[in-house]
Amino acid sequence: MLDSQQLRAFVAVADHGSVTRAAEAMRLTQSAVSAQIRRLEAQLGCRVFDRTTRSLQLTAPGSVLLSYARSILGLQQQAVARLATPRHAPTTLRIGCSEGFPGEWLFAALADFRQRRPEVHLEITSGISTLLARQVRQGALDLMVGTVCDAGEDTETLWTEPLVWAFSERALLDPDAPIPLAFLSEPCPFREAALASLAGHGANWRIVLTAQGSGALTAAAGSGFAVTVLTPSGMPGGLRAIPAGPLLPGLPPARFVVQRGAEGEALTALAEEVRQACFRWRGARAAGAAAA
Pick the CATH number of 4-83 from 3.10.50.30, 3.40.50.2000, 3.40.50.620, 1.10.10.10: 1.10.10.10
Residue-level pLDDT at 241: 94
This model's pTM is above 0.75: no
Single-letter residue type at 172: L
Distance CA 240, CA 124 (A): 31
Distance CA 217, CA 214 (A): 5
Specify the CATH number of the domain 91-160+255-291: 3.40.190.10
- Which ranges of the chain would DSSP assign to H, the alpha helix? 4-16, 19-26, 30-44, 60-83, 103-116, 129-138, 189-199, 214-223, 265-291
Residue-level pLDDT at 89: 54
Residue-level pLDDT at 209: 94
Distance CA 122, CA 80 (A): 20
Distance CA 164, CA 143 (A): 27
Distance CA 147, CA 251 (A): 15
Domain(s) of CATH 3.40.190.10: residues in the chain: 91-160+255-291, 164-251
Single-letter residue type at 229: V
pLDDT tens digit string along 103-160? 788 888 899 998 888 889 999 998 888 888 889 988 999 999 988 887 666 788 888 8
| SS3 label, residue 94 | strand
Q: What does each C-alpha distance from 68 to 18, 26, 46, 201, 223 come to in angstroms?
A: 20, 20, 16, 64, 49
Asked if 225 contacts 216 with a C-beta cutoff of 8 angstroms, the reply is no
Distance CA 88, CA 119 (A): 10
CATH superfamily, region 164-251: Periplasmic binding protein-like II (3.40.190.10)
Residue-level pLDDT at 291: 64
Residue-level pLDDT at 200: 82
Q: What does each C-alpha distance from 12 to 33, 44, 263 come to in angstroms?
A: 9, 18, 37
The low-confidence residues of the chain, meaning pLDDT below 70, are: 53, 81-82, 84-90, 100-102, 151-153, 285-292
Tell me if the bond preceding 102 is cis, omega within 30° of 0: no
